[in-house]
Structure 1
Amino acid sequence: MTAKIFTVAQQKGGAGKTTLAAHLAVAWTAAGKSVAVVDIDPQMSLTYWYRLRERRSGNAGAGLLVTQIRGWRVRNEAERLAQQHDIVVIDSPPHMETEARAAVRAANLVVVPVQPSPMDVWATRPTLDLAKEERRAIAIVLNRVPPRARLTDDMLAEIEDFDVTVTQARIGNRVVFASALAQGRAVGEMQPKGRAAAEIGALADELLELVGT
């Protein structure tokens, strides 16, 4: 077994990187995939979420593993886990240092969440430049999208200048994402028929298609 490795990366903090990584991991697990998540963000938010998940349910969920690691071992650990799982998700730190570069280098696809605001779009360029330097495929995901389509369209026009894939699936700005994580859960477990779960499911499917799975 050799997994597809997705690195969720974004230099700008607050883009929803960890929230997206956790929800994608649970969505893929629910679809029958075995998923390993490598948390290399110093804040360890994803690791804390996983521990809370274990404490509250007694079982984090069949097929889901979260491990925390730092430094030069990131790529080796990701490749080791790839031999034992269907999917590996790397939650990278919000800065372009050794760990972030190693995480990008290990990826089959670099997933870059971007909020539809000028500051967020401009701040995305270093992340994209790093992925291009490492010759890795990139997918921008519009995240925390407000119900103002005009603003989103304006930002899309600017994002097109980056010459990378922008996913059709978008993730709305919904309180339920944070509420779910605060309980050690994901939106698909709290509101399985809700719009948030549908958005995550659509994105999870689209990302697999982009890596040929």
Structure 2
Amino acid sequence: MAAKIITVAQQKGGAGKTTLTAHLAVAYTAARKKVAVVDIDPQQSLTMWFRLREERFGDAGAGLLVSQINGWRVRNEVERLAREHEVVLIDSPPHAETEAKIAVRSAGLVVIPVQPSPMDVWATRPTLELASAEETPVLLVLNRVPPRAKLNDEMLAEVKGFGAQIAKAQIGNRVVFASALSEGRAVGEVQPSGKAAKEIAGLAKEILRNV
């Protein structure tokens, strides 16, 4: 089984990297794909979410596996999981550490969430440089987008200046993304017909087309 390996990376903390990874993982399992997530972020937030999910819903995570690991074992773990799953998502640490480089090197695509603010846009450059050094394709995703079109247009122009591909799908700034995770679930499970779920589903499909 040849997996699609996707690393979600952003060297600036607070960009919504782990939140995005969790919702994408559930979206892929809902599409009947066998999914593994490798959590190499020292905060282990994704691992804690998955444990809560298992405790509350038992086999509700069927088709989804979360593996927490770090150090030199990351590459071997990713390769092992890629043989047994259709999609492997890697939640990378927010700094240019050894694990982050391995995560980017192992991926077929690096997804970089970017919040539409000047500080977040400027802080994206090191992640782009890391992906470029490893010759791994990049997809920038505008994340936590507020309903202020002027700000979005300004930031979009700034992001386009990086020369990287930008996802057509954008993720809005919606409370349900965090509230769903606090219950051990994802937006597609708590509000399957809502805008948030549709945004994640659209992004999930777009990502697979680019891996």
Shorter-chain-normalised TM-score: which range? over 0.9
Query: Which SS does the other structure have where 2:161 is aligned?
Result: helix
In the comparison of the two structures, how many residue pairs are matched? Answer: 211
Query: 1:193 — aligned with what?
Result: 193
Q: Post-superposition, which runs of at least 4 consecutive aligned residues in structure 1 deviate over 4 A?
A: none
Instruction: Map 1:119-138 onto structure 2 (within 5 A).
Output: 119-138=119-138
CA distance in structure 1 between the partners assigned to 2:91 and 2:12 by the alignment:
14
- Cα deviations across residues 88-110 of structure 1 (Å, max 9, x unaligned)? 00000000010000000000000
CA distance in structure 1 between the partners assigned to 2:4 and 2:94 by the alignment:
22
Query: Which SS does the other structure have where 1:178 is aligned?
Result: helix
CA distance in structure 2 between the partners assigned to 1:82 and 1:9 by the alignment:
19
CA distance in structure 2 between the partners assigned to 1:84 and 1:110 by the alignment:
21
Query: 1:45 — aligned with what?
Result: 45
- Cα deviations across residues 160-195 of structure 1 (Å, max 9, x unaligned)? 111111000000000000000000000000000000
| Residue 60 (structure 1) shift | 4.1
* 1:43 partner amino acid: Q
How large is the RMSD of aligned CA atoms in angstroms? 0.6
Query: Which SS does the other structure have where 2:54 is aligned?
Result: helix
Query: 1:70 — aligned with what?
Result: 70
CA distance in structure 1 between the partners assigned to 2:170 and 2:40 by the alignment:
25
Q: TM-score by structure 2 length?
A: 0.99
- Ranges in structure 2 where 5+ consecutive residues have no aligned partner: none
Q: Percent identity?
A: 72
- Ranges in structure 1 where 5+ consecutive residues have no aligned partner: none
- Cα deviations across residues 51-95 of structure 1 (Å, max 9, x unaligned)? 000000112422100010000111111111000000000000000
Q: TM-score by structure 1 length?
A: 0.98
Query: 1:55 — aligned with what?
Result: 55
For the Cα contact (< 8 Å) 1:15–1:143, is it kept in 2? yes
